[in-house]
A and B are shown apart, each in its own frame.
Chain A
């Protein structure tokens, strides 16, 4: 905790570059007619 800044979420994207990529997560269609599944909305299968 600092005076001006509060950490809410500690991101792990860099770590996930080493451990991720299994490809088992849902495909994330970005087309509106299929409810464009912004990738950030997807769940990890691990």
Chain B
């Protein structure tokens, strides 16, 4: 019988990784996920190294080739790396409704609300022009997303409310639907605002960092006092009246709380059900996370994944944003190539009506795109095109990464911050994304297996 040979390049189309109860394998280009045993892993490692296969490995290789015939293994990229993104269509806006804040969080990327400029509020007229701009430039898109951001958007809640009412009125004429969100530090989150958000179906991101000492170390008032007591009470009230389930509590971890699983447990004790915890992105200083932290962070994410699974099995589940992964009906491949769409599908509007590719680019003058009065300037079209072409096939470090169709190339602003080049992703962010994805894939597999067995 002729020896089976599988070229090492074929193994590069797969990603296999250890999980608490064995091994999983992802067929990168199809998105198929398979459980494999130790012998299969040994076989794959031989194939990747170009080594000769022994008898058992040959038997497994035959199984792998049979799965290839079914389109589940060694799949080729559907575009073979040749992809031309669609024409730009604006569908999503971040309205920096207020460049000011009532907190002075120490890790704030927005210079505690001012974005390095003067503290200012968006007028209703500027916001209305922005909504008209997205309505007029959104082509065939039905759903338009608008996030009220800042600074702290609740400091300008009167304008936010007027803009939501304006948007609801204007969307009818265009046959479109605005999906509104606001992100708040929760200091001014009153019962009245909670009722308004509920009534108007506004999704809300609620910032909180977990344990009191962790939260109060970073999230402080201008006088240095911690904000934990005030915001915890406000979030509890808000969530108790949020029947739509469209609010999420999000936190930031830094080098000071690499044991962030304890902060998530604290949230669960407080009764917060939908959660997200993100690494701070810092170029320097005591909060900065580094490559040396990765082994510990990996352990921490797996600790969280096991907690998630234990709670689910015990009938006390919680939602962790980055473990939410639909492997059966997730986004299509075109969506997965271009990520956030900053600069051509998504833009930010400053209080003065200036346009930037996203909220993170505000104040980086080379990236200014235009204004709500003038639209995108002709001389900024090159910037728009650069963002449109910033897809995974055009990023050298993404082309060989197994996670490229899940993370879609990472955050452009972080790439620019660390490399002054949106085509060079921020490596630590990539590594953390890959860890979270392995956890999420394992949890999706556990869920599917429970459904099959149940």
Contact = CB atoms under 8 A, between A and B. Distances in A.
Contact of B321 (A14, A26, A41): A41
B406 A39 contact: yes
B411 interface: yes
A25 B336 CA distance: 11
Given A14-B29, A24-B142, A8 B449 contact: yes
A39 B336 contact: yes
Contact of A5 (B35, B86, B143): B35
B340 interface: yes
B359 A34 contact: yes
Contacts of A3: 59, 63
A34 B331 contact: no
A25 B411 contact: no
A34 B36 CA distance: 36
Interface in A20-34: 20-34
A9 B278 CA distance: 28
B91 A23 contact: yes
B407 A45 contact: no
A21 B342 CA distance: 17
B414 A31 contact: yes
Interface residues of A, number: 43
Nearest to A38: B407
A42 B331 contact: yes
Interface string A3-23: 111111111111011111111
B67 to A, nearest CB: 7
A24 to B, nearest CB: 6
A27 B357 CA distance: 13
Nearest to A26: B145
Given A38-B437, A44-B330, A12 B30 contact: yes
A32 B279 contact: yes
Q: Which of A8, A17, A30 has the most CB of B within 10 A?
A: A30
Nearest to A16: B332
Interface stretch (B71-79, B211-219, B377-385): B71-79
B141 interface: yes
A36 B429 CA distance: 11
B153 to A, nearest CB: 13
Given A12-B31, A29-B358, A41-B324, A23 B278 contact: no
B4 to A, nearest CB: 14
B345 A14 contact: no
A43 B321 CA distance: 12
Q: Which of B141, B329, B336 has the most CB of A within 10 A?
A: B336
Contacts of A39: 331, 335-336, 339, 405-408
Contacts of B136: none
A40 B252 contact: no
A40 B72 contact: no
Given A4-B39, A5-B63, A13 B334 contact: no
Given A3-B63, A8-B34, A38-B406, A27 B341 contact: yes
Interface string B284-322: 000000000000000000000000000000000000011
Contact of B86 (A16, A23, A35): A23
B360 interface: yes
Contacts of A2: 63, 66-67
B332 A44 contact: yes
Nearest to A32: B278
Contacts of B36: 4-6
User: Would you list the 5 A-B pairs with minimal beta carbon distance, nearest first?
Assistant: A20-B332, A11-B31, A40-B406, A21-B334, A16-B332
Given A30-B339, A32-B281, 14 more contacts: A7-B67, A7-B72, A8-B24, A9-B444, A16-B334, A21-B86, A23-B140, A29-B411, A32-B252, A34-B149, A35-B321, A36-B278, A39-B405, A43-B331
Interface of A: 2-14, 16-45
Interface of B: 24-25, 27, 29-37, 39-40, 59-60, 63-64, 66-67, 71-72, 75-76, 78-79, 86, 89, 91-92, 109, 140-143, 145, 147, 149, 179, 183, 205, 248, 250, 252, 276, 278-281, 321-322, 324-336, 339-342, 345-346, 358-360, 405-408, 410-414, 433, 436-437, 440, 444-445, 448-449
11 contacts: A4-B39, A5-B63, A8-B449, A11-B75, A14-B30, A19-B332, A23-B91, A24-B141, A26-B179, A36-B411, A39-B405
